Amino acid sequence: MQNFIRDIIEADLESGKHTTVVTRFPPEPNGYLHIGHAKAICVDFGLAQAFGGRCHLRMDDTNPDAEDVEYVEAIQRDVRWLGFEWGEPMYFASDYYERLYEHAVHLIRIGKAYVCSLTEDAMREHRGSLTEPGKPSPYRSRSVEENLDLFARMRAGEFAEGAHVVRLRGDMAAANMKLRDPAIYRIKRAPHYRTGDAWCIYPLYDYTHCLSDAFEGITHSICTLEFENNRDLYDWVLAQYEVSDVASPGTVPCRPRQIEFARLNLTYTMMSKRKLLQLVEEKRVQGWDDPRMPTLAGMRRRGFTPESIRAFCDLIGVAKNNSLVDVGKLEFCIRDDLNRRAPRAMCVLDPLEVELVDLPVALSSLAAPSFPAELELDGTRRLPVSERVFVEREDFADPPPARWHRLSPGAVVRLRHLGLVRCEEVERGADGAVQKLRCRYLGADEATAGTKAKGTLHWVSAQDALDIEVRIYDRLFDVEEPESLDQLNPRSLVVISNAKLEPSVAGAVAGASFQFERHGYFCVDPDSSTERLVFNRTVTLRDGWAKEEPRAREHDARPESREATRPEEQTRAPSVADLEGPVRARAEALVSAHGVSEAVAIVLASDATLLDLVEAAFTAGASGKAATLVANLVAGDLRARLSGTRGPLGFGGRELAELGGLVAAGTVTGAVAREVLGRLVEKGGSPADLVRELGATTLGQDALVLLIDEVLAAHPDEVARYRAGKTALLGFFVGQLMRRARGKADAKAAEELLRERLG
Ligand code: ATP
Ligand code: MG
């Protein structure tokens, strides 16, 4: 993405000022990296990458108090994890201590630095203010020899802390107060994590940073806006040295340019390392990698991917004015990335037992896609099916509120991938609390079930479910711009210890991400053991904090709206391949050799009598359209008629084949065929005879035309309105005609003729 820093670099390359771009990322190892650092890393490493240059990783470690090797290692880990490599070597400001000392001696020699022995308070008083110039320190006029001697003795450890500092001889009247003789060295009797006791004087930031950049040949030293005032000083220090390839205390290899950009501030997030350290030390969180922390270690554990963080940094861009970024943008990026990465799984957080009645016995597991079809990603998993399943307790309501799309007494819902069920019984405990539901399995899809589902629910098979712990995280602070640790969100962590997860996820390793359907994205926490998986919720499927409902995509929608709009194809029904035992081959043959739909084949496979009957009809000659008609009639109408009472049937495959043939040939309509089937069940006989008895042969064209004329004559007003352009009335005429035809009219032919006659 283009930004003002790229413009500067492009111009520098074009003008020949530089031929290679060298940037650096200079963290102080006094804490873990956070999402703000990620922005800086993406800028520093990203620009080097974009221009084929290098980016150095440098520990800016000149303060022995707070720095530690633990932090160095964490920083390396996090930069690598984010996807960036610094190559060899890794740089440390502490490696420059000797060289920095010599360069300070040079400044003293040329009269640009002196040893000042004012107390800290006195020094502050001398500095003046924004409106008043400062007063020179009485030590400003010390001779070079005296300064050199004192500096050497400071290094040798002859003085107490605070006794002396080395200051630049800047300009005590400068408008930029940073130039009013800033200190560059102080005495500090503390062991450093790398140099140990070798030094008791340490260089300060403004002196160290510009020289470190110059030593390393940095071309563009990019930092955040709070360093804008330091830039004059950065340039002032470097100007005291000659640019030369010959290393000496009076030279630097190059003169880098400091460029500032706006730091990242995020809503609901605190981002200063000092405050984060306080959270850790006061045990307000469980460590630097607590999944609620904005540290990269915490975000990694929470389930953020490096790609999502880089995408976020791209999205927010690089600018020169400070702003507050909505943390929702970060959450958007992780959702967007995990959508394509995290396989779907079903997890019930608050289990309610459901007994399924009429479940096809041969259906003990089924294959379900790991991703929604629109993503066009491969992958399936097996879902075990059993007569006891768990659904989400909050997915049942009695009585149901208005527009309830889930379970309630009598309601029909879809159990995702499994099929439709009707809630028939509610078992309550002595206290009235719902303990268990009994639901009837109606079929794999709406056509076989003969009814519509109100919504789609997730579920898991009770006997197969994994018992897992789920940690539900929310924002660590519940105010938009937190300022104090007292603004922590008391509900930032809720632990659910008895959630039920589908078993396909067993064996998932720490860091693996899944979408628990309807609940959000979750990832395996390193606290998991082989016996018990622990999951962290990375993010919900939609932004629960948004003031206005965002235009959510299908898979992000709230359950209610998703259920209301989810088209049938979105949820896959079981297929014959999911069946077990010998019926599977027979069901497969129905589908492949006879064109029967999978849902119908599954229904037939669960009932030996029906399956035998259909196969007998095929043997008796039912083929093509007649074959599928027979299968549908048997799985639908016949199954419904026979349910409960089941004596020997007075007809067989031959009769069914004959009936199917009559419909296929257009001799009778489907409606008539159902009626004939009813008579066959009651008293048997021959379908052709029954049709004749009923006088139910499908009406021919002439008969239809007569009926149409009757209909049109009976409704002159509607005819006039139709002819005046209200063609939507066609349906009305078709309905009238079909009623008069008593099921004997072929609907399609009737509609065509009607259209013709109405002109
Ligand atoms: P903090 O202010 O959070 O304590 P810091 O600036 O003291 O962090 P450093 O280790 O000095 O931490 O930072 C290393 C680099 O990361 C610096 O160049 C700094 O400008 C950059 N950086 C730190 N915080 C942010 C932020 N919020 N947005 C962008 N860059 C940042
Ligand atoms: Mg800082």
* Contact of 21 with 263, CB cutoff 8 Å: no
| pLDDT exceeds 90 at position 228 | yes
Helix (H) or strand (E) holding 334: helix 327-341
Q: CA quadruple 388, 394, 400, 405: dihedral positive or negative?
A: negative
- Ligand 2 mean position to 224 CA, how many Å? 8
* Contact of 744 with 733, CB cutoff 8 Å: no
Counting Cβ atoms within 10 Å, is residue 485 exposed (0-12), middle (13-18) or buried (19+)?
Answer: middle
Helix (H) or strand (E) holding 706: helix 701-714
**Are residue 389 and residue 504 in the same domain, yes or no?**
yes
Give me the pLDDT at residue 559, please: 41
Q: Domain ends where: 546, 566, 586?
A: 566
* Phi, psi angle pair for 68, to nearest 5°: -155, 150
**Are residue 344 and residue 484 in the same domain, yes or no?**
yes
Give me the pLDDT at residue 552, please: 34
- The answer to whether the CB of 26 is under 6 A from ligand 1 is yes
Q: CA quadruple 564, 565, 568, 569: dihedral positive or negative?
A: negative
Give me the pLDDT at residue 458, please: 96
Q: If you take atom 15 of ligand 1, which residue's CA is the nearest one?
A: 27
**Closest by Cα among 502, 510, 513 to 530:** 510
- The answer to whether the CB of 663 is under 6 A from ligand 1 is no
Any domain includes 744: yes
Q: Are strands 434-443 and 351-357 parallel, antiparallel or unpaired?
A: parallel
Q: If you take atom 22 of ligand 1, which residue's CA is the nearest one?
A: 37
| Secondary structure letter of residue 418 according to DSSP | T
- The answer to whether the CB of 24 is under 6 A from ligand 1 is no
- Ligand 1 mean position to 37 CA, how many Å? 5
* Banded model confidence at residue 569, pLDDT cuts 50, 70, 90: very low
Give me the pLDDT at residue 514, please: 98
**Are residue 477 and residue 342 in the same domain, yes or no?**
yes
**Are residue 596 and residue 711 in the same domain, yes or no?**
no
User: How far lies 316's CA from each of 41, 265, 304, 312, in Å?
Assistant: 14, 11, 17, 6
| Secondary structure letter of residue 749 according to DSSP | H
Helix (H) or strand (E) holding 228: none
* Banded model confidence at residue 558, pLDDT cuts 50, 70, 90: very low
- The answer to whether the CB of 272 is under 6 A from ligand 1 is yes
HSE, CB side, 13 Å, CA atoms: give it for residue 541.
19
Q: If you take atom 10 of ligand 1, which residue's CA is the nearest one?
A: 27
* Banded model confidence at residue 544, pLDDT cuts 50, 70, 90: low
**Are residue 634 and residue 527 in the same domain, yes or no?**
no
- The answer to whether the CB of 27 is under 6 A from ligand 1 is yes
* Banded model confidence at residue 447, pLDDT cuts 50, 70, 90: confident
How far apart, in whole angstroms, are the C-alpha atoms of residue 95 and residue 107? 20
Q: Could you tell which of 82, 84, 224 is best to mutate to test the pocket of ligand 1, judged by most ligand atoms within 8 Å of the CB?
A: 224
User: How far lies 82's CA from each of 226, 251, 277, in Å?
Assistant: 25, 36, 22
Any domain includes 498: yes
- Ligand 2 mean position to 123 CA, how many Å? 23
| pLDDT exceeds 50 at position 529 | yes
How far apart, in whole angstroms, are the C-alpha atoms of residue 640 and residue 646? 11
* Phi, psi angle pair for 494, to nearest 5°: -125, 125
- Ligand 1 mean position to 27 CA, how many Å? 7
How far apart, in whole angstroms, are the C-alpha atoms of residue 424 and residue 409? 6
Any domain includes 343: yes
- Provide the 10 A C-beta neighbour count for residue 221: 24
Q: If you take atom 12 of ligand 1, which residue's CA is the nearest one?
A: 27
* Phi, psi angle pair for 350, to nearest 5°: -135, 85
User: How far lies 506's CA from each of 349, 353, 502, 521, 531, in Å?
Assistant: 17, 21, 8, 17, 9
CA 259 to the chain's CA centroid = 34
Any domain includes 609: yes
- The answer to whether the CB of 224 is under 6 A from ligand 1 is yes
- The answer to whether the CB of 28 is under 6 A from ligand 1 is yes
- The answer to whether the CB of 298 is under 6 A from ligand 1 is no
- Which ligand is nearest the CA of 271, by number? 1
* Contact of 340 with 375, CB cutoff 8 Å: yes
Of 277-281, 556-560, 585-589, 739-743, least confident by mean pLDDT is: 556-560
- The answer to whether the CB of 263 is under 6 A from ligand 1 is yes
- Which ligand is nearest the CA of 30, by number? 1
How far apart, in whole angstroms, are the C-alpha atoms of residue 193 and residue 508? 39
**Are residue 547 and residue 668 in the same domain, yes or no?**
no
| Secondary structure letter of residue 225 according to DSSP | G
* Banded model confidence at residue 681, pLDDT cuts 50, 70, 90: confident
- Preceding omega of 687 cis (within 30 degrees of 0): no
* Contact of 385 with 463, CB cutoff 8 Å: no
Mean pLDDT in residue range 452-472? 96
> Across-strand partners of 388?
355
- Ligand 2 mean position to 47 CA, how many Å? 21
**Closest by Cα among 482, 78, 553 to 332:** 553
Q: Which atom of ligand 1 is nearest to the CA of 40?
A: 30
Any domain includes 159: no
Q: Are strands 242-243 and 251-252 parallel, antiparallel or unpaired?
A: parallel
Specify the CATH number for the domain of residue 349. Answer: 2.40.240.10
The encoded tokens of residue 433 equal 């609390």
**Closest by Cα among 649, 643, 647, 640 to 616:** 649
Any domain includes 118: no
- The answer to whether the CB of 275 is under 6 A from ligand 1 is no
- The answer to whether the CB of 264 is under 6 A from ligand 1 is yes
Of 236-245, 510-519, 537-546, least confident by mean pLDDT is: 537-546
| pLDDT exceeds 50 at position 632 | yes
The encoded tokens of residue 463 equal 């006997």
Q: CA quadruple 605, 606, 612, 618: dihedral positive or negative?
A: negative
Give a three-class secondary structure readout of 42-107. HHHHHHHHHCCCEEEEEECCCCCCCCCHHHHHHHHHHHHHHCCCCCCCCEEHHHHHHHHHHHHHHH
* Contact of 362 with 579, CB cutoff 8 Å: yes
Residue 185 identity (one-letter amino acid): Y
**Are residue 381 and residue 475 in the same domain, yes or no?**
yes
**Are residue 649 and residue 627 in the same domain, yes or no?**
yes
Q: How many domains does the chain have?
A: 3
Q: Which atom of ligand 1 is nearest to the CA of 272?
A: 3
How far apart, in whole angstroms, are the C-alpha atoms of residue 482 and residue 669? 72
Specify the CATH number for the domain of residue 745. Answer: 1.10.10.410
Sheet holding 22-25, edge to edge: 22-25, 54-59, 91-92
Give me the pLDDT at residue 564, please: 36
Highest average pLDDT, of 3-12, 639-648, 744-753, comes from 3-12
| pLDDT exceeds 80 at position 646 | no
* Phi, psi angle pair for 382, to nearest 5°: -100, 135
Name every residue whose Cβ is closer than 8 Å to that of residue 149 and which is 6 or more positions away in sequence: none
- Ligand 2 mean position to 280 CA, how many Å? 19
- The answer to whether the CB of 39 is under 6 A from ligand 1 is yes
The SS3 assignment for 323 reads strand
Size of the chain, expressed as the number of residues it contains: 759
Query: How many separate helices (H) and strands (E) can be counted in the chain?
Result: 26, 29
Give me the pLDDT at residue 645, please: 61
- Ligand 1 mean position to 33 CA, how many Å? 8
Any domain includes 85: no
Mean pLDDT in residue range 439-467? 94
- Ligand 2 mean position to 28 CA, how many Å? 8
pLDDT digits over 371-390, tens only? 998 899 999 999 999 999 99
Give me the pLDDT at residue 572, please: 66
* Contact of 468 with 537, CB cutoff 8 Å: no
State the catalytic residues.
Answer: 28, 263, 273
| pLDDT exceeds 50 at position 614 | yes
The boundaries of the domain holding residue 745 are: 701-758
Q: Could you tell which of 32, 34, 37 is best to mutate to test the pocket of ligand 1, judged by most ligand atoms within 8 Å of the CB?
A: 37
Q: If you take atom 14 of ligand 1, which residue's CA is the nearest one?
A: 27
- Preceding omega of 369 cis (within 30 degrees of 0): no
| pLDDT exceeds 90 at position 184 | yes
Q: If you take atom 1 of ligand 1, which residue's CA is the nearest one?
A: 272
**Are residue 616 and residue 729 in the same domain, yes or no?**
no
Largest CA distance in the chain: 130
Q: Domain ends where: 511, 533, 566?
A: 566
* Banded model confidence at residue 187, pLDDT cuts 50, 70, 90: very high
The encoded tokens of residue 10 equal 């492009």
- Ligand 1 mean position to 272 CA, how many Å? 8
Sheet holding 459-461, edge to edge: 456-457, 412-415, 419-428, 434-443, 351-357, 388-392, 459-461
Q: Domain ends where: 566, 590, 607?
A: 566
- Ligand 1 mean position to 270 CA, how many Å? 13
Helix (H) or strand (E) holding 149: helix 144-156
**Are residue 754 and residue 646 in the same domain, yes or no?**
no
- Which ligand is nearest the CA of 34, by number? 1
**Are residue 480 and residue 351 in the same domain, yes or no?**
yes
The average confidence (pLDDT) of the chain is 92
**Are residue 667 and residue 729 in the same domain, yes or no?**
no
Q: Which atom of ligand 1 is nearest to the CA of 224?
A: 20
Q: If you take atom 16 of ligand 1, which residue's CA is the nearest one?
A: 37
Any domain includes 222: no
Of 4-18, 116-130, 516-530, 561-575, least confident by mean pLDDT is: 561-575
Name every residue whose Cβ is closer than 8 Å to that of residue 145 and which is 6 or more positions away in sequence: none
How far apart, in whole angstroms, are the C-alpha atoms of residue 76 and residue 649? 77
Mean pLDDT in residue range 404-422? 95
How far apart, in whole angstroms, are the C-alpha atoms of residue 349 and residue 470? 8
* Contact of 42 with 314, CB cutoff 8 Å: yes
The percent of residues above 90 in pLDDT, for the chain, comes to: 74
| pLDDT exceeds 70 at position 594 | yes
